[in-house]
Amino acid sequence: MSAVVQLAKLWICGHRFWPCFKEEAIELLVASLFLHYKPYLHPPRSAFSGFTRFLNLLANWEWQFFPLIVNLNNEMSEVDVSECVKEFTSQNQNNPRRPPMYIITPDDRGSITSPNSNMKKGVKWRPYWTTKSQPSVAALTRVTDLAKATLALLDNLCSEQANAGSQVDGEVWQALFRSDIDQSDHDIILRLNALAEMPETVSNIGDDDDYSVKKSKISSSVSTRFYKNLAKEAGETILVGVEPLTNYGEAIRAHFGDLMELYYDPVNGQDIGLNFKHRVRDPVKFRIAVSSYSLPYHRNGSSKLGNDSESEPEGENDKITFSHVVPNVDEIVADLATMGKGLLKSISVNIP
């Protein structure tokens, strides 16, 4: 099963969906293929078979209508499974914040007690490894579409190899696990310098071959720690634990997680895609969480206060409403550049 998990994570990473999922959720998806393998006759017997079933699960499971129950160690009884389905149905009708990907395990059982008694009143099942935002509806939709496209490509490659009677070029197979970033898919794209292209970011700080990332060259948003040089040959440098892209992505999530979704590959990626959770030009209700990067909304569709913000509006449609706001894109881009100082190569904005 471990080989299937590795392929699944490699596929998720290569297509920049890693920030959209908790790592354990991916492992549970793979575990379900081995625990509940019907309609197949047996569990996957190879990494390739398991990977194709993983793609089939993502492409065809109807998350809106069915929960995915992963009965680890067979700890859930038929009554427990029935309660899970009832709880899912109830949340599907009454809870708009239900996780789009609903995965339940035996550890997700929670007891509900009466407020006036210590006696157990009932049992509630709540997904722990999937949330409203991990993955979001938009991310889950994109993953589903990509899984279908990958299955189609995989079918074509297998057919081509069978008909040709020869091996297909390895680079073609690698296309299954990687995709180039497309400007049309993201509102903002951050392209980063590779550390290999930035020798000035690494400095020898002692005779014991320890290395660190210079704070003067890289923003404090990226954690600066000491790293041991494990290279055996002189002139080589191996830095353990240097993950500037991941650290930068986590910093962006901490600052802008209420406004935007992140897409990046922590293994081989050198870019980050950002998508606003709402259309940039559409006003949303004011919330404290996004107040630092918002502009008051003009009823005439403008988000700028104008040169004379104290002047009285001429008409009813020109009134400024502070109950609805739009993102302050210029301020967001400026802060992204500041946070990525020393790492960013370029910022592309694609907002019509």
Confidence of residue 16 (pLDDT cuts 50, 70, 90): very high
Residues of the chain with CATH 1.10.1410: 1-179
The pLDDT value recorded for residue 278 is 80
- Residue 249, Cβ density class (10 Å: 0-12 exposed, 13-18 middle, ≥19 buried): buried
Q: Is the pLDDT of residue 25 over 60?
A: yes
The pLDDT value recorded for residue 306 is 38
The pLDDT value recorded for residue 15 is 93
- Residue that the structure tokens 């950002």 belong to: 274
How does strand 68-69 pair with strand 103-104? parallel
- Whether the upstream peptide bond of residue 135 has omega within 30° of 0, thus cis, is yes
SS3 222: coil
Interval 210-229 mean pLDDT: 45
Per-residue pLDDT tens digits for 97-135? 788 999 999 988 874 443 443 434 455 888 889 988 889
Confidence of residue 158 (pLDDT cuts 50, 70, 90): confident
- Torsions phi, psi for 184 (to 5 deg): -70, -15
1-179, what's its fold? Poly(a)-polymerase, middle domain (1.10.1410)
Whole-prediction pTM: 0.76
Per-residue pLDDT tens digits for 268-303? 888 999 998 887 777 777 666 666 777 776 655 555
